[in-house]
Amino acid sequence: GAVVSQHPSWVICKSGTSVKIECRSLDFQATTMFWYRQFPKQSLMLMATSNEGSKATYEQGVEKDKFLINHASLTLSTLTVTSAHPEDSSFYICSASASTGGRGYTFGSGTRLTVV
Amino acid sequence: QKEVEQDPGPLSVPEGAIVSLNCTYSNSAFQYFMWYRQYSRKGPELLMYTYSSGNKEDGRFTAQVDKSSKYISLFIRDSQPSDSATYLCAIGTTDSWGKLQFGAGTQVVVTP
């Protein structure tokens, strides 16, 4: 089955530094990946759609200069949280699919970011 | 108003009982409906997926969709302690595959 690997699973960084999170499709190619954010005891909120070879599409209210997304290959999308602050501490999750159709979207295991 | 409403719980049931979960949504344009299970600090895992109104069964799980009422349900029969998790409903449209609107998630605790 489709496997999406996300790395790191957790990271602690100092305020003002940048953190990169990787999302890889291990056994399929993904032209589109999605990045979500989840605060404790809250639901997943879509941040952006990552398109291979083109610019990401950000949801309303998400700062594109703060959350940099790069989808340079069909198996890798990265999310970089720039100049991180404590309020950026959250659980970040990606999803990807080998084909269109809601059934096909597999989620990564998530990255817990803590900014101190 | 949120597009998808889901009671966050927690919902506590004894082992063997039926767990009943539900969500309501506001936009009739939504066309497909999913239920995910999420364990603490893990990514969501797809449980059920359906397009149409009616019931869909898979093992101990039954998903129910009523498009006229904009209401979806998930039932878990013969619940086990391993079913203790947060259950999220998610809905989407076919013109934006993968862009899902999630409910808040209901925390379920199945006690032995």
Measured between alpha carbons, how far is B14 from A111 in angstroms, rounded to an integer?
Answer: 32
- Residue range A35-90, pLDDT digits in tens: 999 988 788 999 999 888 888 999 999 999 999 999 888 899 999 999 999 999 99
Residue B87 has pLDDT above 60, yes or no: yes
Q: Contact A107/B98, CB-based, under 8 Å?
A: no
Of the ranges A91-95, B52-56, B74-78, B91-95, which one carries the lowest mean pLDDT score?
Answer: B91-95
Q: How confident is the model at residue B29 (pLDDT cuts 50, 70, 90)?
A: confident
Distance CA B4, CA B58 (A): 24
Q: Which residues contact B59 (CB under 8 A, 6 or more apart)?
A: none
Confidence of residue A99 (pLDDT cuts 50, 70, 90): low
pLDDT higher at A72 or A11 = A11
Maximum distance among all Cα pairs of chain A, rounded to whole angstroms: 39
Band of pLDDT at residue B3, cut at 50, 70 and 90: confident
- The pLDDT value recorded for residue A102 is 52
**Under a CB-based contact definition with an 8 Å cutoff, are residues B85 and B39 in contact?**
yes
Inter-chain touch B46–A106, beta carbons under 8 Å: yes
Comparison of pLDDT for A91 and A100, the residue scoring more: A91
Give the Cα separation of A59 and A57 in Å (integer).
7
**Which pLDDT belongs to residue A54?**
84
Nearest alpha-carbon partner for B23 in B81, B67, B54, B55: B67
* Contact assignment for A43 to B6 by CB distance below 8 Å: yes
Nearest to A109 among B42, B49, B99 (CB): B42
- CB-CB contact of A111 with A10 (8 Å): yes
**pLDDT for position A30:** 86
Whether residue B19 contacts residue B78, with contact meaning beta carbons closer than 8 Å, is answered with no
pLDDT value, residue A100: 58
Chain B, nearest residue to A110 by Cα: B43
Is pLDDT at A103 greater than 70 in this prediction?
no
Where do we find the tokens 């970040």?
A92
**Structure confidence by residue, pLDDT tens digits, B39-74:** 988 899 989 988 888 999 999 999 999 999 999 999
- Is the CB of A1 inside 8 Å of chain B's CB atoms? no
Cβ contact B98–A43 (<8 Å): no
User: Is-contact A38 A93, C-beta < 8 A?
Assistant: yes
Residue A101 in this model has a pLDDT that exceeds 60: no
B71-89 residues labelled b (16+ CB within 10 A) or e (exposed):
ebbbbbeebeeebbbbbbb
The beta-carbon neighbor of B97 closest among A4, A100, A108 is A100
**Which bin fits A41, alpha (ψ -120 to 50), beta or left (φ > 0)?**
left
The pLDDT value recorded for residue B95 is: 76
